[in-house]
Amino acid sequence: MKRLDVIFQTLVDAGPDRKVSASDLAERLGLSRANVSSDLNRLWKEGRIEKEEGRPTLFFAKKGNDSLYLAETSLDRLAKTNKSLITRIEQAKAAVLYPPRGMHCLILGETGVGKSWFAGMIHEFAVDIGRMEKHAPFVIFNCADYANNPQLLISQLFGVKKGAYTGAEMDRKGLVEKADGGILFLDEVHRLPAEGQEIFFTFMDKGIFRRVGETEMERTAQVQIVMATTENPESSLLKTFMRRIPMVIKLPSLVERGLEERFRITMEIFQEEAFRLGREIQISANAVQAFLCYHCPNNIGQLKTDIQLTCASAYAEFISLKKNQLHVSVQDLPHHVKQGLLLVKDYKQELDQIIGTEHNCFVVQPSKEGIWIGRETGDTTDSVYEKIEQKIYELQNLGVSEEELEFDIENYFTTFIKGVHQRVNKGDMARIIDPFIIHLVEEIVRFAEAKLEKILSQKVIFGLALHIQTSKERLAQGKQIVNPQINHVRIKYKKEFAVALECVRMIEEAILMDLPIGEAGYLTMFFVLDDVSMEEERETIGVLVITHGSGGATAMVDVTNRLLVTQYARAIDLPLEEDSMSVLEKALKVAREIGSKAGLLLLVDMGSLLGFGEIIEREIGIPVKVIPMVSTPHVIEATRKAMLGHSLEDVYRDVLGISLYQREEQPKEQVQKHIPALTIVAACLSGEGSALFLKKLLESRLRYDESLLEFVPLQLIDKAQARSQLRKIKEERKILFVVSNYILDRELRHHSMDDVLNGEAMSDIQQVIDLEEAYLKMQESLGEHLQMVDGQDILADVRMCVGRMEERLNNYLVFDTRIGAYLHICCLVDRLKAGTQSVAYIQKDSFLLENRKLYSLIRHELLPLEDKYEVVISEDDVCFIMNFFIHNKTLA
């Protein structure tokens, strides 16, 4: 409990008759008088306590009937962490508190800002303060569902009297009656037709209404109306309707709420996912920065969806690799979220204040214990403990003797120290290691060098700092420190071991933790492995980025070096007018500067640059690996791992793992990438460069799943070859569109480059992508859930069946409705095959009478399904399918 809450609760417990001064309360609670005085005045300004002027000023709790703020409410807690909502929260409180039973209010805001959630918070507040009963109803009604049917709207809202119309076989309550004593929330109120708005006039004015079919009896209900809309109410609602809504609350967009609140919202969503998955989630600092900076037009709703997709991606790896912790890194992010890393530099100062300058990670627990910040696990502070323990376990299982076991441990320890960046200095250490640990290591080094009469190398010092920091974190997590060769190390290196024991004592005093004697064995190895044993050591690899165009490579490297606070990566730009051979000369010069025996990682975009690797390798005599189709996440990951001393093979493999697209020119030994089932071809007459530009433009403007869809650039200089390539692609996967000013295949859907560049085609392309991706995901889902039929086959048949219905009716289902129809019919066939009885359709006779033509058409188009799967689809089942076409727009 916070100090402010402790002080408030103390006054409440004492009662309104007990008056105390700041001094008395500070003495009683053992707190600073200045802090207590400040908190008391804050509580008084918030209206939560009373004060009596005098010398000294006395404070006391309010009487139970004096205020509805006697205890902290849900809205109070919300205001503490959401400064942008303070004014809106005060408006909400006023709407609830207004006598005699509150006032109706309208919540405005963009899609996804949380209007429905805020309406729920208003209801919770009303219950918290006792304005409504504990179990007061909160009824939600989406006006879009009945936008084109005012009569049905009336019956839903106000209920029906028995016999009011054919099929009304009993009295039925409406939503207004169900909401009596609580709140009726009208979502998307701008979809409420004018007739529907007028229906509400009498009820909002007097609280009286009649059920449909009632002429004499008047009913009453005490209901507070809360409405929400994304539209301008002045243009979408009647003026007479707006006059009855005295309180209008406009919720800010995600951008308007600022980075600090966005960070809190992001971490709360991650915590919800941790709770849902029942697993601790660790999020890398770069991933957090991407979520804080990327363009998120649909606000919190989209942010939540993107985080869920990210966690799903990380969870798949977590399950397949059987990890103990679910780790979210940049490579798990959707493509459009990764673009946020390019904007980090624009918010650097504010980000530094929110998440710090060190490369920390954020850990959320599957409980409500909050969020804690820790150092990134894994590569940032690779621990020699886990590596050695794993090596011991593997060797023991192979039956290796103790002598051989010891040899392997020493060699692995040597490799650990060799992997540390050769050019590290105190400034570099401060960016990766706690300054407190650096100071401690400096003392240990001075002591050890004096006792051993030798100078320890900078690399050993840095390795020692990393090791001690990891030791501290390991002990804090309750993990053991075990050295299986402690006796041998003590006997073989007596002098170094004695010094290590003293250093262990120094560490214990500094970190206030007890270290086991095994730690002395590890420290001994650092003192033994000095520069003499490092003469044959490998160096770190260089990272060089080269791309076509002016500024592309420089921009990616600038983002990377700023994020990692270094100048490690290097860049060369290749303007289109410059000769590639002159750029090769620059590349050779830079490679000689940053390359070493460890090698060079070359990251390029396309074309002739792919051949630079072989030339550099041959000219300079160092190993070179090439990563094509470079993006900023590639450069960040490559630089981070290179700085930490990873081998060229390791860095190449890990960076390749986050590739968004792999070219045929990649080395043959590379593991073949999964080929997405869908593709969009970007074809251009002016050559590969223009086609690639078109591809990247589509990638940046569209939402898509990289595992399902790929954009392929195609040059049209040789049209016959282009058609041949297109046929090959068409054989391997489904082509959704060809974007080109030239018709390559009349069977495929085309969009011109002009329509793409001006944005006119984007909506159509996005709709098809969404549908096809949903279709592929449905195939997988149905395959798991359907018992009697094959999921892929039935979905293909149903898709064809629904398509025929749409054509004959000239009524093309919108996205959500179409997906719903597919799922419904697939599951229906599976249930019928299993012998499950059909569900009765209410008021079937009258429904069929009104829609006889529609019934006949849909009945006819379902015959192929009945014949193939040997089922009988009843009239009731057909009625349910008819509703998808009748309520096409409203269901969406």
Alpha-carbon gap, residue 226 to 245, rounded angstroms: 9
Question: What 3 state SS string does 261-295 have?
Answer: HHHHHHHHHHHHHHHHHCCCEEEEHHHHHHHHHCC
**What single-letter amino acid sits at 694?**
L
Inform me whether the pLDDT recorded for 403 exceeds 80: no
Q: At what angle do helices 3-14 and 33-45 cross, to 10 degrees?
A: 70
**CA angle 881–885–891, rounded 5-degree value:** 95
CA atoms within 13 A on the CB side of 404: 8
Alpha-carbon gap, residue 821 to 831, rounded angstroms: 15
Give the DSSP H or E segment for 52: strand 49-52
Inform me whether the pLDDT recorded for 254 exceeds 90: yes
Nearest alpha-carbon partner for 479 in 407, 552, 385: 385
Q: What's the whole-number mean pLDDT along residues 293-308?
A: 92
Asked if 731 and 670 count as a contact pair (C-beta separation under 8 A), the reply is: no
Asked if 484 and 508 count as a contact pair (C-beta separation under 8 A), the reply is: no
Nearest alpha-carbon partner for 231 in 242, 244, 220: 242
Asked if 775 and 826 count as a contact pair (C-beta separation under 8 A), the reply is: no
Inform me whether the pLDDT recorded for 638 exceeds 80: yes
* pLDDT given at position 630: 84
Alpha-carbon gap, residue 690 to 662, rounded angstroms: 18
Nearest alpha-carbon partner for 165 in 874, 846, 853, 738: 846
* pLDDT given at position 351: 83
What are the distances in angstroms from CA 290 to CA 333, 339, 340? 9, 7, 4
If phi > 0 it is left, if psi is from -120 to 50 it is alpha, else beta; for residue 174 that is beta
Beta bridge partners of 548: 574
- List pLDDT tens digits, range 524-549: 877 876 544 444 444 688 999 998 87
- List pLDDT tens digits, range 106-124: 999 999 999 999 999 999 9
pLDDT tier, 74 (very low <50, low <70, confident <90, very high otherwise): confident
Asked if 196 and 153 count as a contact pair (C-beta separation under 8 A), the reply is: yes
CA atoms within 13 A on the CB side of 353: 7
Is the N-terminal amide bond of 100 cis, ω within 30° of 0?
yes
Inform me whether the pLDDT recorded for 567 exceeds 90: no
Q: At what angle do helices 648-656 and 632-643 cross, to 10 degrees?
A: 150
Rg (CA), the chain: 34
Alpha-carbon gap, residue 11 to 309, rounded angstroms: 47
Q: In 365-493, which residue ranges form alpha helices assigned H by DSSP?
A: 384-397, 402-418, 426-432, 435-452, 458-476, 486-492
Nearest alpha-carbon partner for 787 in 819, 825, 826, 837: 826
Asked if 313 and 326 count as a contact pair (C-beta separation under 8 A), the reply is: no
Alpha-carbon gap, residue 462 to 460, rounded angstroms: 5
CB atoms closer than 10 angstroms to residue 168: 17
Beta bridge partners of 107: 228, 249
End-to-end CA distance of the chain: 45
Residues 6+ apart with CB under 8 A from 246: 103, 104, 105
Inform me whether the pLDDT recorded for 373 exceeds 60: no
**What single-letter amino acid sits at 740?**
S
Tokens of 675: 């080929």
- List pLDDT tens digits, range 314-348: 877 676 655 566 888 877 888 888 888 778 878 88
CB atoms closer than 10 angstroms to residue 190: 17
Alpha-carbon gap, residue 698 to 660, rounded angstroms: 14
pLDDT tier, 889 (very low <50, low <70, confident <90, very high otherwise): low
Alpha-carbon gap, residue 739 to 762, rounded angstroms: 11
* pLDDT given at position 422: 40
- List pLDDT tens digits, range 824-834: 898 899 889 88
- List pLDDT tens digits, range 120-147: 999 999 888 888 888 899 999 998 887 7
Alpha-carbon gap, residue 768 to 735, rounded angstroms: 11
What are the distances in angstroms from CA 757 to CA 697, 740, 754, 762? 8, 11, 5, 9
Q: What's the whole-number mean pLDDT along residues 619-629?
A: 86
pLDDT tier, 79 (very low <50, low <70, confident <90, very high otherwise): confident
Q: In what order do the strands lie in the sheet with 600-604?
A: 570-574, 542-548, 600-604, 624-627
Alpha-carbon gap, residue 307 to 332, rounded angstroms: 10
What are the distances in angstroms from CA 861 to CA 327, 788, 853, 864? 49, 22, 13, 7
Higher pLDDT, 378 or 121: 121
What 8-state DSSP symbol labels residue 495?
H
Q: What's the whole-number mean pLDDT along residues 285-297?
A: 89
Tokens of 864: 């192929």
**CA angle 290–294–300, rounded 5-degree value:** 105
Tokens of 376: 């990134």
Residues 6+ apart with CB under 8 A from 313: 332
Say what the pTM is: 0.43
Please return the burial class of 541, using the count of CB atoms within 10 Å of its CB with bins 0-12, 13-18 and 19+: buried
Inform me whether the pLDDT recorded for 639 exceeds 90: no
**CA angle 542–545–551, rounded 5-degree value:** 145
Average pLDDT, the chain: 79
Tokens of 178: 């169900």
